[in-house]
Amino acid sequence: MKPTALLFSLMLLPFSIPTRAQSARIDTVSVGELQMSAKAVRAFTKGSELLAHGDAAASVDYLRKAIELAPANFHPYHNLGLAYFQLGQRDCAAAAFQKAVELTRRAYAPSLFGLAMIFYQRSDYSGAKVLVEQGLTVEPSSEVGKYCLGLVQFSMGDLVGAERSALEAVSRGNESDAYVLLGHVHERTGRPEAVVADVANYLKMEPNGMLRVDAMALLQRARMQMSSQVAVVR
């Protein structure tokens, strides 16, 4: 399974532009907790806006400029990791997430989850699992973290654990992709009726979601299996 949709949901960091009344505090601790100079905030804001609107390529220069102006701040590194991931530059994404992890002393779960998913795509499931579990120590209730854990568990053959993690993810929020993971688990364990329900839940939340093709393939295979079972009974 590809965690592309998931990774971009790893909390694109805040980039709201301060009001005129807030602007006097920009150089200290204003604009959320950015703690950047005004120039760094402008670069981070522009880069993050471009990223949020799907232009990852254009966002990179702005985020790198923010890093140049505020090298001790983890925010631009995290969003740069997301941008590089969107561009398919996994090594660059890993380096950016790793720097965010180091700057936060492993205290910011989304960067840990982001780095974990790169390990996952490299098939380093053990390394990915360690990072996800560290992130869940920071944010135990994170549905994104539970989904990440479920993906890793599924790939490691722990279907019981994957199902539990996916169910926790869907019960805690809007992690629609976890229904597709559940579909894969239920397919692997021979429960086509459950697969149909999983796909229906996913499509209800994301009719045109990034995992639609995967979900529809699951649905087709489940219906074929159910038809075969009926034929055997007859």
Q: What is the mean pLDDT of the chain?
A: 85
Is the model more confident about 30 or about 229?
Answer: 229
128 contacts 143 by C-beta, under 8 angstroms:
no
| DSSP helix, strand, coil percent of the chain (3-state; round to 5) | 70, 0, 30
pTM for the full model? Answer: 0.84
Q: Give residue-wise pLDDT tens across range 58-105.
A: 999 999 999 999 999 999 999 999 999 989 999 999 999 999 999 999
Distance of CA 147 to the CA centre of its chain: 9
Per-residue pLDDT at 104: 92
Does residue 198 have a pLDDT over 50? yes
Contacts of 83 (CB under 8 A, 6+ apart): 47, 51, 56, 57, 59, 60, 63, 93
CA 167 to chain centre: 17
**8 Å CB contact between 82 and 7:** yes
Name the token pair of 42: 């402008």
Pairwise CA distance, residues 214 & 201, whole Å:
14
Q: Say what the pLDDT of residue 93 is.
A: 94
Whether the predicted pLDDT of 114 surpasses 70? yes
Q: What is the pLDDT of residue 229?
A: 73
- Regarding predicted confidence, which is higher, 105 or 234? 105
Cα torsion 169, 171, 175, 176 to 10°: value is 120
Dump pLDDT digits (tens) for 10-49.
555 543 322 222 222 222 234 445 678 889 999 999 999 8
What are 130-155's pLDDT values in tens digits? 999 999 999 999 998 999 999 999 99
DSSP string, 120-140: HHTT-HHHHHHHHHHHHHH-T
All structural domains of the chain, each given as residue ranges with its CATH number in brackets, are 1-103 (1.25.40.10), 108-158 (no CATH), 176-234 (no CATH)
Kindly give, in sequence order, each residue whose CB lies less than 8 Å from that of residue 21, ignoring residues fewer than 6 positions away. Answer: none
Average pLDDT over residues 199-213: 93
Residue 230: the pLDDT is: 61
Which ranges of 70-158 does DSSP label H, i.e. alpha helix? 74-86, 90-103, 109-121, 125-138, 143-155
